[in-house]
């Protein structure tokens, strides 16, 4: 069978189950786009290439599958780097196709030529430059395998224009085998038995769960472990939803803006079980003061993550779902006795921390941003998929929206990429068309990629945008307030648009609340509309996110007001 490279690409994508591609066309990929039009694969035209990756990222997280995007060479490829880096930091499976100049022009500074492979090597799990049309099918299949297996991540395929246009005698690739790539899924049984013994003996255990629990679909196994062994659970930002946020054993988020009870538990526990986490700096604070009294177990599929930031007592390399399932079976064989009674003092101590320093706010005359998120949670009953931008809006969403299910909180955790939330919400809405999808945003971050309103409108997506409008780049302003004597340098957004009029200009619904009593009516009207909606909430200008752990301090030393 004679096929062009573009035809081969479409054939293999269909074999991989791809039904949606986010992208932006250009000369180097014109052959691919011409062939894409002949398929039933849905193409979503974004308005900036980074948003193609953000949308594919949101699609992957909400839908539990690999996201795909397609852009042209040169600036099209370089624009994707921010999105790729965000997916890489958060271990999200995305396959990125970039166009490239013809192979005979590579290295000649041709029009719209850049070294895409070189540029993206530090922020991809793997990347390819396809030099022969004969290699294209195999490379695409390898890319999907690498992106979705082991510790997931973005894989980039750079396709020269002539590789896409050439016609060859096509032969389907045989079963893909990568000799040097063999992730460890099953844990060492002896190490797991040591973990089981530690759980049985500990007085003050704590589970710290991260994004790996969600990526491996291990939420059920995590919940079973916590209940079986009566262990309180905290999560990183990326782990929210991995354990039910309304469960009695739930402590809230850990780290720089974690709950008081969660951070204090970290300082006092005698056993910490880290599952699918990186122990990054936003969680640990001062590393030599992190969990100082605890033996630490670290379960992760990526061996390079273990001991990278924190010394570990027992390393366990393996898939979180498989590992927790086996650990639960081991604990079934143990005489655990009455662990609830044994750990009652520990639970009482945690309850005391919760009662003395609860996560709360004081709603008076001016709208508090926490109040908006709180009411959003109550009105949606925790059923919505929440995406966020980055900054204060992100933290308030994490603190006051209680996630009972995985894949319902989508945020740029590792890279902290402003402008992520709207395109991610578009991707999530396309992956889950029957779900309510809400982007919680700030008035600064929403303007980073506001052009994607056109994408939402064109696709008829009922995405909701909740703007916590304080007239500042809020998180940077908070640091300037607390540590730089209120010198608000370049953080006051004095020339912000009228978001209601802006929504209407795009063809969306625009709503605004300026008083506390207007919050619920605006939310109700916006959430239950079948259209794309921007809800602008004019909130307290100098409200800060608390608790807050200052940079370099132990997580137990928090600013509470």
**CATH number of residue 201's parent domain:** 3.40.50.1220
349 and 373 fall within a common domain: no
Question: Are the CB atoms for 90 and 120 separated by under 8 Å?
Answer: no
pLDDT class of 465 with cuts at 50, 70, 90 = very high
pLDDT, residue 336, reads 82
Question: Are the CB atoms for 67 and 60 separated by under 8 Å?
Answer: yes
Phi/psi of residue 42, nearest 5 degrees: -75, 130
In a domain, 428, yes or no: yes
Going by C-alpha positions, the residue among 149, 90, 155, 13 that lies closest to residue 407 is 90
Question: Are the CB atoms for 425 and 59 separated by under 8 Å?
Answer: no
193 and 155 fall within a common domain: no
Question: Are the CB atoms for 99 and 28 separated by under 8 Å?
Answer: yes
In a domain, 551, yes or no: no
pLDDT, residue 339, reads 85
pLDDT, residue 338, reads 83
Which strand (E) or helix (H) includes residue 397?
helix 392-400
In a domain, 143, yes or no: yes
pLDDT, residue 337, reads 80
Angle, vertex CA 338, rays to CA 333 and CA 342, nearest 5: 120
Going by C-alpha positions, the residue among 287, 327, 364, 307 that lies closest to residue 196 is 327
Strands (E), 59-209: 67-71, 94-100, 126-129, 155-160, 167-169, 205-209
In the chain, pLDDT over 90 holds for what percent of residues?
A: 96
81 and 209 fall within a common domain: no
335 and 413 fall within a common domain: no
Active-site residue among 111, 483, 484, 528? 111
Per-residue pLDDT tens for 428-442?
Answer: 999 999 999 999 999
* CATH assignment of the domain containing 398: 3.40.50.970
Tallying the residues shown for the chain, one arrives at 561
145 and 106 fall within a common domain: yes
323 and 457 fall within a common domain: no
297 and 350 fall within a common domain: yes
196 and 159 fall within a common domain: no
pLDDT, residue 334, reads 84
Strands (E), 191-326: 205-209, 233-235, 250-253, 271-275, 295-300, 314-317
pLDDT, residue 308, reads 94
Question: Are the CB atoms for 410 and 90 separated by under 8 Å?
Answer: no
- Whole-Å CA distances, 538 to 235, 370, 398, 511: 30, 12, 20, 11
Active-site residue among 475, 535, 548, 558? 475
Active-site residue among 112, 193, 363, 451? 112
In a domain, 226, yes or no: yes
In a domain, 177, yes or no: no
The answer, yes or no, to whether residue 494 has pLDDT greater than 90, is no
217 and 121 fall within a common domain: no
Q: Which of 298, 326, 356 is the last residue of a domain?
A: 356
Residues with Cβ within 8 Å of residue 58, at least 6 apart in sequence: 67, 387, 410, 423, 424, 425, 426, 427, 428, 431
Q: Which of 303, 334, 356 is the last residue of a domain?
A: 356
Q: Please give the Cα distance from 390 to 382 (Å, whole number).
A: 21
Task: Identify whether 452 is a catalytic site residue.
Answer: no
Q: What is the mean pLDDT of the chain?
A: 97
Question: Are the CB atoms for 329 and 225 separated by under 8 Å?
Answer: no
In a domain, 554, yes or no: no
Strands (E), 379-482: 385-388, 409-410, 437-442, 464-469
Per-residue pLDDT tens for 67-107?
Answer: 999 999 999 999 999 999 999 999 999 999 999 999 999 99
In a domain, 493, yes or no: yes
Which strand (E) or helix (H) includes residue 57?
helix 49-63
Active-site residue among 11, 125, 141, 161? 161
In a domain, 180, yes or no: no
Per-residue pLDDT tens for 282-324?
Answer: 999 999 999 999 999 999 999 999 999 999 999 999 999 999 9
pLDDT, residue 77, reads 98
Per-residue pLDDT tens for 164-218?
Answer: 999 999 999 988 989 889 999 999 999 999 999 999 999 999 999 999 999 999 9
Active-site residue among 10, 35, 49, 368? 49
Range of the domain at 332: 189-356
The count of domains in the chain is: 3
Task: Identify whether 112 is a catalytic site residue.
Answer: yes
pLDDT, residue 519, reads 98
206 and 327 fall within a common domain: yes
Per-residue pLDDT tens for 38-64?
Answer: 999 999 999 999 999 999 999 999 999
Per-residue pLDDT tens for 350-371?
Answer: 999 999 888 899 999 999 999 9
User: How large is the C-alpha radius of gyration of the chain?
Assistant: 24
Task: Identify whether 111 is a catalytic site residue.
Answer: yes
Question: Are the CB atoms for 241 and 398 separated by under 8 Å?
Answer: no
pLDDT, residue 235, reads 98
342 and 484 fall within a common domain: no
407 and 326 fall within a common domain: no
The answer, yes or no, to whether residue 146 has pLDDT greater than 90, is yes
Per-residue pLDDT tens for 6-15?
Answer: 999 999 999 9
Question: Are the CB atoms for 18 and 41 separated by under 8 Å?
Answer: yes
């Amino acid at each position: 069978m004679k096929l062009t490279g573009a035809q081969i690409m479409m054939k293999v994508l269909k074999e991989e189950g791809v039904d949606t591609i986010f992208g932006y066309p250009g000369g180097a990929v014109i052959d691919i786009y011409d062939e894409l039009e002949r398929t039933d694969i849905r193409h979503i035209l974004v308005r900036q290439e980074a948003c193609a990756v953000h949308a594919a990222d949101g699609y992957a997280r909400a839908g539990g599958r690999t996201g795909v995007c397609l852009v042209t060479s040169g600036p099209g490829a370089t624009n994707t780097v921010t999105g790729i880096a965000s997916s890489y930091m958060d271990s999200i499976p995305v396959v990125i196709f970039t166009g490239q100049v013809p192979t005979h022009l590579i290295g000649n500074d041709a029009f719209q030529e850049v070294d895409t492979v070189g540029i993206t090597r530090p922020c991809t799990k793997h990347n390819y430059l396809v030099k022969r049309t004969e290699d294209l099918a195999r490379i695409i299949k390898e890319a999907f395998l690498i992106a979705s297996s082991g510790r997931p991540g973005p894989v980039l395929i750079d396709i020269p224009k002539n590789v896409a246009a050439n016609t060859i005698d096509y032969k389907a690739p045989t079963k893909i085998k990568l000799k040097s790539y063999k992730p460890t899924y099953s844990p060492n049984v002896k190490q797991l038995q040591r973990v089981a013994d530690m759980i049985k003996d500990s007085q003050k255990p704590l589970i710290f769960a991260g994004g790996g629990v969600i990526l491996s679909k291990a939420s059920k196994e995590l919940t079973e472990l916590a209940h079986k062994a009566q262990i309180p659970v905290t999560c990183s930002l990326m782990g929210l939803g991995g354990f039910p946020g309304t469960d009695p054993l739930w402590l809230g988020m850990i780290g720089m803006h974690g709950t008081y009870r969660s951070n204090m538990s970290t300082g006092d526990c005698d056993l910490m079980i880290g599952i699918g986490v990186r122990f990054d700096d936003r969680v640990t604070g001062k590393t030599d003061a992190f969990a100082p009294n605890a033996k630490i177990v670290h379960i992760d599929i990526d061996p390079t993550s273990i001991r990278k930031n924190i010394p570990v007592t027992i390393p366990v390399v393996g898939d979180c779902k498989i590992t927790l399932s086996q650990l639960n079976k081991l604990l079934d064989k143990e005489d655990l006795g009455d662990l609830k009674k044994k750990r009652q003092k520990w639970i009482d101590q945690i309850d005391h921390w919760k009662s003395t320093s609860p996560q709360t706010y004081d709603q008076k005359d001016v709208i508090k941003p926490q109040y908006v998120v709180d009411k959003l949670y109550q009105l949606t009953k925790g059923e919505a998929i929440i995406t966020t931008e980055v900054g204060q809006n992100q933290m308030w969403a994490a603190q006051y929206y209680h996630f009972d299910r995985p894949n319902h909180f989508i945020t740029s955790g590792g890279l902290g990429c402003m402008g992520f939330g709207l395109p991610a919400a578009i991707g999530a809405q396309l992956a889950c068309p029957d779900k309510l999808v809400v982007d919680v945003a700030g008035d600064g971050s929403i303007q980073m990629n506001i052009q994607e309103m056109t994408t939402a409108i064109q696709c008829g997506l009922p995405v909701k945008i909740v703007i916590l409008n304080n007239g500042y780049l809020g998180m940077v302003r908070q640091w300037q307030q607390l540590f730089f004597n209120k010198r608000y340098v370049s953080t006051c957004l004095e020339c912000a648009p009228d978001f209601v009029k802006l929504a209407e200009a795009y063809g969306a619904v625009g709503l605004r609340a300026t008083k506390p009593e207007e919050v619920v009516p605006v939310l109700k009207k916006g959430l239950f509309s079948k259209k794309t909606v921007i809800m602008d909430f004019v909130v307290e200008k100098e409200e800060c996110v608390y608790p807050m752990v200052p940079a370099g301090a132990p997580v137990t030393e928090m600013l509470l007001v």
